[in-house]
A and B are shown apart, each in its own frame.
Chain A
Amino acid sequence: MSAVPAAPARQAPARGARRSPSRRSGVRGREAVAGWLFISPMIVILGLFLVVPVLMAAWVSVSDWTGRGSPLSPDVGFVGGANYQKLVSGGGLATQDFGTALRNNAWYVLLVVPIQTALSLFLAVMVNRKALRGRSIFRTAFYFPSVTSSVAITVLFLFLFSASGAVNKLLSYLSISGPNWFADARGVVHVVLGAVGIHTGPAALTDHGFLGITWWEWLAGPSVAMSVFILMAVFTTSGTFMLLFIAALQQISGEVEEAALMDGATPWQRFRFVTLPMLRPTMFTVVTLGLIGCWQVFDQIYTGTQGGPAKTTLTPAYLSYQSSFEGQQWGRGAAIAFVLFAIIVVLTLVQRFILRERGVPRRRRAVLSTRSGESAAVPGAGAQR
């Protein structure tokens, strides 16, 4: 009952406020207390397990903590950028491992992101055809691998791609003897070059290098073992991204399609010049999510290969874990994590710059952006501008 007088103040806040400021602040005050109470569990948990950890790890990355006692104890010394320096220019094993991990993951990103984007778009276009029967069955089948855990999928792939596994059995029907996938450390590019008789690189590449490994090694391509993880990533994520593309395709109005049809555009032209440009915002989302996800490969490596064979499936995320928890090099592990963070941020920005709207004359761009502003449903439209 006591709240009754407050009700008009809520419905017409401006006038109510002028008439009785004290009562207004009473209601607002109660709401403010409730508001902070409601969000406090979230603030405590995210603060404690997200913000504080980042700050603490920032400290560890510039300290010589060895894992014993608290990193905040006075015995732990400040070493400045030494941990970072050892990673980038130390020349020792630390640099070499870091270079190798970056090389492996860069190839992984370079292959997974385009393939999964193209495949998910392809599947979405196929499933979204108007006269398709059994659409939901196809959609379900393609999405299913995405719900299972990375551990279970890795176990399955370890079996499928084992020396005597399903994939090699399949290849044997085609009279191809498949490699021992997970034990094969040869780089794919090197394998191809080897097939045409090139076994050692030119001195220009083998004598110089970056981050402790030669350019020839950088260009080796993903190892055969890493290629399996690449296939696995495409297998498990294409379904999710397919759903995003389907949603975007359904947003495209039939009229635009129809206009293109009337103009006599072939199906390919309709796709290339009508559908694809309209999917740009979704493309942006998919590539961004892909990039972020691909630099975080950890579960698969932990479950499957632990970085082997010959460190060719080592990734920065796994190296960071390994240096800290197994090598007790906590400063180095934390430094790797921060470098990884920086890589992800920089790449996202670069990608945003490259995928921005361009090639559209200024005046048309203005029209386009007001239109995408109107239909708030267009995903990522705001992020692009």
Chain B
Amino acid sequence: MSATTTTAAQRADHARELRADRSAGRRRVGTVAVYAILVLFVVIYIYPFLVQVATSFKPDVEAIASPLSLVPRTWTMQAYNDLLLRSDFPLWLRNSVIVTLLVTAGRVFIDSLAGYALARLQFRGRGAVFAFLIGVMAVPGVVLLIPKFLVIKQLGIYDTFAGMIIPLLADAAGIFIMKNFFESIPKSVEEAARIDGAGPFRTYWSVVLPMATPALVTLVILSFQGSWNELSHFIVATQDPDLRTLTKGVAQLASGGLGAALRYPLKLGAAAIMTIPVAVLFFIFQRRIMNTTTGAVKE
């Protein structure tokens, strides 16, 4: 595969060389234009985030007076002081961390278990379960807001961590990723384990799962990002201020809570802190994130 593309590329290069001298000058202008356009877009896409960080270190007045500058004239930690010492922000952060960690751990376990069963174990009704999953994926999340509230209330887990966490524990997309991965690894290893007398769970837990690290990492990233950024589910599952997550708390802040109507540094600081974990995850696993997003659709 790679060999054919290289030769194809080489041949294309050669073809281009034939026309090279004719259009060399024109092409150089073209290349400069391409870089100029790309750089312009990078500025548009990244500058807002730089402004966000810079503004969070400005005093309130300066944030309004010079909203574009990247270097505060007066540096201040006021926004972060207020957030971390004089507001419920640490509580929101704690709640978000608890929920995200538990949801991620639970999702990885449940999704991989189901993905393995759908990929490898023979049982009656497997086809029906698979069709059920596809149907489930077609239901748009926003349509479920009210319905989810009704069930959570009915089950008596409204305003509890259980109500925040359990409904997020399984997701169809994650199960698909795991199923596809398990189908791609050779069966022989598992069969060897079976012959040695390992039952299905043992085979899954100590033979198959360790081999699935790449898919598991993908799932961890997606689950972490998904539950850290989740807002609507927490809106319908809780009301108690003590159970507010970062997304919910900061959303309230945005609409003027904490007397924050014009306190942009405070709000932007909160948004910045909230972006840090996903940003760090993004930069660590950058290559993999880029590949999974494309991979998920290819399958």
Chain A residues proximal to chain B, CB less than 8 Å = 1-4, 6-7, 10-11, 28, 30-39, 41-43, 45-46, 48-54, 56-57, 60, 70-72, 123, 126-127, 129-132, 137-145, 147-152, 154-160, 162, 164-166, 169-170, 235, 239-240, 243-244, 246-247, 253-255, 257-258, 261-262, 282, 285, 292, 295-296, 298-299, 302-304, 306, 317, 320-321, 324-325, 330, 333-334, 337-338, 340-341, 344-345, 377, 379-380
Contact of A39 among B38, B117, B195, B200 (CB under 8 A): B117
For the complex formed, measure the closest distance between the CB of A9 and the CB atoms of chain B, giving whole angstroms: 11
Contact status of A41 and B113, CB under 8 A, knowing A151-B251, A258-B15: yes
User: B194 on the interface (CB 8 Å rule)?
Assistant: yes
* Nearest chain A CB to B240 CB, angstrom units: 15
Closest 10 CB pairs of A and B: A53-B147, A254-B8, A35-B123, A247-B294, A38-B117, A149-B229, A34-B200, A57-B147, A35-B121, A32-B123
Chain B 188-219 interface mask (CB, 8 Å, partner A; 1/0): 00010011110111001000000000000000
Contacting pair A1 B197 (CB below 8 A): yes
Taking a contact as CB atoms under 8 Å apart, the answer to whether A148 and B255 are in contact is no
Which residues between 48 and 79 of chain B lie within 8 Å of chain A, taking CB atoms? Answer: 48-49, 51-52, 55, 63-68
A334 touches B147 (CB 8 A): yes
Are A334 and B228 closer than 8 Å at their CB atoms? no
Q: How far apart are the CA atoms of A281 and B118 in the complex, in Å?
A: 27
Residue among B45, B110, B124, B295 with the most chain A CB within 10 A? B45
In addition to A43-B129, A45-B110, 7 A-B residue pairs with Cβ atoms within 8 Å of each other are A4-B197, A28-B122, A31-B121, A46-B170, A127-B38, A149-B231, A156-B52
20 A-B pairs with C-beta separation under 8 A: A6-B194, A35-B123, A38-B200, A39-B117, A41-B110, A42-B114, A50-B136, A51-B136, A56-B150, A126-B34, A137-B42, A141-B42, A154-B251, A155-B268, A156-B51, A165-B67, A247-B298, A254-B5, A321-B145, A325-B149
**Are B139 and A41 in contact, with the CB atoms below 8 A?**
no
| B68 contacts across to A, CB distance below 8 A | 166, 169-170
CB of B166 to closest CB in A, whole Å: 7
Expressed in whole angstroms, the minimum distance between the Cβ of A167 and any Cβ of chain B is 9
| Inter-chain contacts of B251 with A (CB < 8 A) | 151, 154, 299, 302-303
Contact between chains at B123 and A31 (CB < 8 Å): yes
* B146 and A60 contacting across the interface, CB-CB below 8 Å: yes
A153-B20 Cα distance, complex, nearest whole Å: 45
Chain B 131-161 interface residues, beta-carbon cutoff 8 Å to A: 132-133, 136, 138-155
Residue A140 contacts which of B64, B147, B286, B297 (CB distance < 8 angstroms)? B286
Considering residues A4, A145, A156, which has the most beta carbons from chain B within 10 angstroms of its beta carbon?
A156
Counting chain B CB atoms within 10 Å of each CB, the highest count among A139, A142, A304 belongs to: A142
Are B126 and A35 in contact, CB atoms less than 8 angstroms apart? yes
Q: Across the two chains, which residue of chain B brings its CB closest to A238?
A: B45
User: How far is the CB of B169 from the nearest CB of chain A, in Å?
Assistant: 5
- CB contacts (< 8 Å) of B143 on chain A: these are 54, 337-338, 340-341, 344
Neighbour of B225 across the interface among A57, A147, A298, CB < 8 A = A147
B220 at the interface (CB under 8 A from A): no
**B282 CB contacts on chain A under 8 angstroms:** 144, 147
Closest residue to A41 on the B side, CB-wise? B110
Q: In whole Å, how far is A50's beta carbon from the nearest beta carbon of chain B? A: 5
Chain A residues with Cβ under 8 A from B154's Cβ? 56, 70-72
Residues of B near A254 (CB, < 8 A) are 5, 8-9, 11-12
Distance in Å: Cβ of A127 to nearest Cβ of chain B: 7
> How many Å from the CB of A357 to the closest CB on chain B?
19
**Residues on the B chain within 8 Å of A253, using CB:** 4-5, 8
Q: Is the CB of B15 within 8 A of A138?
A: no
Cβ contacts under 8 Å, A11 to chain B: 191
Residue B90 interfacial (CB < 8 Å): no
B87 contacts A by Cβ under 8 Å: no
A155's closest neighbor in chain B, by CB?
Answer: B271
Which single member of B45, B129, B254 contacts A304 (CB below 8 Å)?
Answer: B254
- Residue in contact with A131 in the complex, picked from B31, B67, B196, B229, CB distance below 8 Å: B31
Q: Could you say which of B9, B126, B297 has the most chain A C-beta atoms within 10 Å of its C-beta?
A: B297
Q: Which residue of A lies closest to B248 (CB)?
A: A151
Given contacts A152-B271, A303-B251, contact A298 B122 (CB under 8 A): no
Chain A residues contacting B142 (CB-CB under 8 Å) are 295-296, 298, 317, 320, 337, 340
Is B148 a contact partner of A53 (Cβ separation < 8 A)? yes
Given contacts A159-B268, A164-B67, contact A148 B293 (CB under 8 A): no
Residue of A nearest to B30 (CB): A267
Assembled-state Cα–Cα distance A379/B122 (Å): 28
The residue in chain A whose Cβ has the minimal distance to the Cβ of B287 is A136
Q: Is the CB of A244 within 8 A of B293?
A: yes
Residues of B contacting A132 in the complex (Cβ-Cβ under 8 angstroms): 34, 38
Contact of A302 among B31, B152, B235, B253 (CB under 8 A): B235
Q: A255-B8, A261-B12 are in contact. Are A243 and B151 (CB under 8 A)?
A: no
Chain B residues within 8 Å of A4, by CB: 195, 197
Name A348's closest neighbour in chain B (CB-CB): B138
Given A60-B150, A169-B68, A337-B147, A155-B267 contact (CB < 8 Å): yes
Q: Does B116 contact A (CB under 8 A)?
A: yes
Complex Cα distance, B298 from A96, in Å, reads 43
Q: Is B29 an interface residue (CB 8 A)?
A: no
Given A243-B290, A257-B12, A296-B142: A152 touches B41 (CB 8 Å cut-off): no
Are B293 and A138 within 8 A (Cβ)? no
